[in-house]
Chains A and B, each alone.
Chain A
């Protein structure tokens, strides 16, 4: 046995090594299964899948890409959070600061934004693919419903983030996008039957969303917390349910 083999054996047979890695890396059926079932991340997969299900033509990879985009926004988002203060005095200045003074600042911001847009597009295409392959049919009806919730959450994530740069683009886009809330029947002050319920500009559905009668610093803080904490948390919970269901039901496919 060469010196190299000997050292390798010593390392892989040490207690430390074996406490971390529970199986060898030889390409055997047993190890292949363990690769997946023994790994907390990979075991979201079943250890075997049907052949058709791994074809690009079948999944378009879009669910996975949606998830990848989500992960990219999480990583880059944490970086941005180190430098961003959600108050009207600082928010815009911090954007400039990110751009001109922070290493990777602009790059991280770009990546965050484009990944967010990518996520919206990918989730639509994913839904379209699931529709085309009829994969919502029994037993996956409820996972489709979970998917629709994720679809809405994805757009809300993107929408709440839109406000944070606190520039003209962001406040007006969010104003236009939120104006519909004030037209909600019964609950919005410009909606039908507002007189009857007493909804008024500072006490209606839009004021609840904005944290006040007009878009302002209170809105910024509110959207920041929704964007960085609340919606990601809720979306993660629903993704966990989504993935768990896929794992249980297996990928859809033609009858064997």
Chain B
């Protein structure tokens, strides 16, 4: 009983709070919704007697199942109540942004894509738009879809298993946390006018000019002619993929053995190493750029890489 009282108290608190917020006095709709959820939650409370045998059963092998109603349904309602409450409170306190009316002739500086695409916008620093905006997203989507088909490790199916899935988890971590999420954070908070880097304590100076000292890789190697640059870049990029694939082959055989490679098969290996090398190419280009001011690795009149 005390649990239900607890929930009732929460609704009351919310009601009181909303009534003190200007305009909040008419907010009966969301409260009704929450009240309904609480009612359902209460309806789905587990009955003590029925659950004992299940709990005893669960210690033995075989069937460890419990009834969906009330056990799962209750957690779902509970979760829904919390989240809905949070969302209601948030929506009462924070207003959705609305700036001046659209004006196609006045480009704001900086113009930022919606935050969830800022990782890709950040990629524009390192790659040409066709690469950052089209090729990379395609690889991300294809790569994500390919995961279940290239990961044939039967361990860790349906439970947390870090030890036996070290490399899989590290790769996902690199792609998701480092390249996707942290670049969004950078794009949101640290990029200002001209897409220049501003620390949070710096003022956004739209006249800030950063010396463009970037050079292309072939230039560093003393190559000046167009044809030379094309050939040089082709050798470097193709070489990266050929050597990289060979290195991956060697590393995987060393780590998992020839037998694994055989079971895994060529198509899986080639797809995996191709995607992985592309992932690493993003890291490499970021490092080259930040540490060595290198713009393109392969420059041609048609495309740059």
**CB-CB under 8 A for A103 and B98, given A168-B108, A214-B104:** no
Please count how many residues in chain A sit with their CB below 8 Å of the partner chain's CB atoms: 98
**What's the Cα separation between A27 and B159 when bound, in Å?**
32
Q: Chain B nearest CB: distance from A199 CB in Å?
A: 12
Q: Chain A nearest CB: distance from B150 CB in Å?
A: 10
Inter-subunit contact A135/B158 (CB<8 Å): yes
Number of A-B contacts (CB under 8 A): 249
B251 interface residue per 8 A CB criterion: no
Stretch at the interface among B6-14, B87-95, B278-286: B87-95
- Given contact pairs A45-B73, A65-B83, A151-B144, a sample of 17 additional A-B residue pairs in the complex whose CB atoms are under 8 Å apart: A29-B67, A33-B69, A48-B66, A49-B68, A61-B75, A106-B96, A107-B91, A107-B92, A114-B90, A128-B172, A131-B169, A134-B155, A168-B100, A176-B121, A177-B117, A182-B129, A252-B158
Inter-subunit contact B72/A54 (CB<8 Å): yes
Q: Which of A54, A115, A118, A162 has the most CB of B within 10 A?
A: A54
Inter-subunit contact B133/A179 (CB<8 Å): yes
Complex: chain A residue closest to B76, CB-CB: A64
Complex: chain A residue closest to B100, CB-CB: A168
A192 interface residue per 8 A CB criterion: yes
A27 surroundings in chain B (CB, below 8 A): 47, 49-50
B32 interface residue per 8 A CB criterion: no
**CB-CB under 8 A for A183 and B64, given A140-B148, A166-B102, A192-B303:** no
Chain A, 115-141, contact with B by CB distance < 8 Å: what is the 0/1 string? 100101000100110011111111011
Contacting residue for A51 out of B65, B98, B132, B154, CB 8 A: B65
Complex: chain A residue closest to B180, CB-CB: A124
A49 surroundings in chain B (CB, below 8 A): 65-66, 68, 71-72
A152 interface residue per 8 A CB criterion: yes
**CB-CB under 8 A for A42 and B157, given A144-B148, A190-B129:** no
Contacting residue for A35 out of B29, B64, B69, B87, CB 8 A: B69
Chain A, 71-86, contact with B by CB distance < 8 Å: what is the 0/1 string? 0100000000000000
Complex: chain A residue closest to B51, CB-CB: A27
Contacting residue for B134 out of A50, A104, A140, A191, CB 8 A: A191
B94 surroundings in chain A (CB, below 8 A): 110, 114
A169 interface residue per 8 A CB criterion: yes
Q: How large is the interface on B (under 10, 10 to 19, 20 to 34, 35 or more residues)?
A: 35 or more
B213 interface residue per 8 A CB criterion: no
Inter-subunit contact B98/A167 (CB<8 Å): yes
Chain A, 83-106, contact with B by CB distance < 8 Å: what is the 0/1 string? 000001000100110010001101
Inter-subunit contact A51/B66 (CB<8 Å): yes
Inter-subunit contact A159/B98 (CB<8 Å): no
Residues of A within 8 A of B (CB): 27-29, 32-33, 35-36, 42, 45-54, 56, 61, 64-65, 68-69, 72, 88, 92, 95-96, 99, 103-104, 106-107, 109-115, 118, 120, 124, 127-128, 131-138, 140-142, 144-145, 148, 151-152, 155, 158-159, 162, 165-173, 175-177, 179-185, 188, 190-193, 214-216, 251-254, 256
**What's the Cα separation between A45 and B68 when bound, in Å?**
7
A190 surroundings in chain B (CB, below 8 A): 129
Inter-subunit contact A110/B79 (CB<8 Å): no
**What's the Cα separation between A193 and B134 when bound, in Å?**
14
**CB-CB under 8 A for A173 and B104, given A56-B75, A115-B87:** no
Contact residues of B between 54 and 78, Cβ < 8 Å to A: 58, 61-73, 75-76
B242 interface residue per 8 A CB criterion: no
Contacting residue for A173 out of B30, B83, B111, CB 8 A: B111
**CB-CB under 8 A for A68 and B148, given A50-B65, A107-B92, A137-B157:** no
B69 surroundings in chain A (CB, below 8 A): 32-33, 35-36, 42, 47
B102 surroundings in chain A (CB, below 8 A): 88, 92, 166-168, 170-171
Chain B, 151-191, contact with A by CB distance < 8 Å: what is the 0/1 string? 10111111111000100010010001000000000000000
B243 interface residue per 8 A CB criterion: no
Inter-subunit contact B107/A172 (CB<8 Å): yes
Q: Chain A nearest CB: distance from B260 CB in Å?
A: 16
22 chain-A/chain-B pairs, Cβ below 8 angstroms: A36-B69, A42-B73, A45-B72, A52-B159, A61-B79, A64-B76, A99-B98, A110-B90, A134-B155, A134-B157, A136-B147, A137-B153, A145-B145, A148-B145, A155-B116, A166-B102, A169-B97, A171-B104, A184-B130, A193-B302, A216-B104, A256-B61
**What's the Cα separation between A14 and B67 when bound, in Å?**
29
Inter-subunit contact A152/B141 (CB<8 Å): yes
B263 interface residue per 8 A CB criterion: no
